[in-house]
Amino acid sequence: MSPRHKVEAMTDQAPAAEPDTADIPGRPTSASRTTLSHIMTHNDTNLLGTVHGGVIMKLVDDAAGAVAGRHSGGPAVTASMDEMAFLEPVRVGDLVHVKAQVNWTGRTSMEVGVRVLAERWNESTPPTQVGSAYLVFAAVDADGKPRRVPQVLPETEKDRRRYQEAQIRRTHRLARRRAIMELREKRAAEGLDD
């Protein structure tokens, strides 16, 4: 299988496989929603003395992976992360809360939305949003092959808005990937293989 087809298979663009005989019942958004909390220490800092972005990204991936696994009822792997936004610096002593939920599902993939909040560990002030991200996970079987996932069932108006926005992001991801692959194929055909 070519690298292009592997990526497409992980993001619901593979040719239709044999239809499953049993339908998988949908699952509500709240069934897999998760919050991961962690106190930031000196071990988490960058050269500027604030928490390293990579530490936050790992927490984001961990929380999103837990949500994807819970929603799909088994293993799920990160296919992509996009729109990771760092809104405010996180400091040593901050209690970070990473809130994640499934926003949208395809045949084998799920978009998980993540909000990152921080508050001082020893103060009673409300948490501040310090980051957000969107990740796409593919559910896999024991052989690492994509498997079907339950449809997500948005429960609230906010869930429905997130579902619609996720569909827009998916359209943009696929269009961007298609345009890049077409450019690479054109350059290769012209003998401009990089």
pLDDT digits (tens, 9 = 90+) for 135-187: 999 999 999 999 999 999 999 999 999 999 999 999 999 999 999 999 999 99
Give the global pTM.
Answer: 0.84
The DSSP symbol for 89 reads -
Confidence of residue 18 (pLDDT cuts 50, 70, 90): very low
User: What is the percent of the chain with per-residue pLDDT over 70, rounded to a whole number?
Assistant: 88
Our CA dihedral for 38, 56, 176, 4, rounded to 10 degrees, sits at: -80
58/62 Cα distance (integer angstroms):
6
Residue 51 has pLDDT above 90, yes or no: yes
Whole-number average pLDDT of the chain: 89
Say yes or no to pLDDT of 76 above 90: yes
* pLDDT for the residue 192: 86
pLDDT at 9 over 60: no
Confidence of residue 22 (pLDDT cuts 50, 70, 90): low
Under the banding of pLDDT at 50, 70 and 90, the label for residue 16 is very low
Over residues 110-128, mean pLDDT: 95
3 pLDDT exceeds 70? no
Please give the structure tokens belonging to residue 163: 């579902």
Decide: 172 and 165 in contact? Cβ < 8 Å: no
List the structure tokens of 180: 């890049």
d(CA 117, CA 37): 9
Instruction: Please give the Cα distance from 194 to 174 (Å, whole number).
Output: 23
Of residues 83 and 115, the one with the higher pLDDT is: 115
Which of 83, 143, 71 is CA-nearest to residue 109? 71
| Beta-ladder partners of 152 | 27
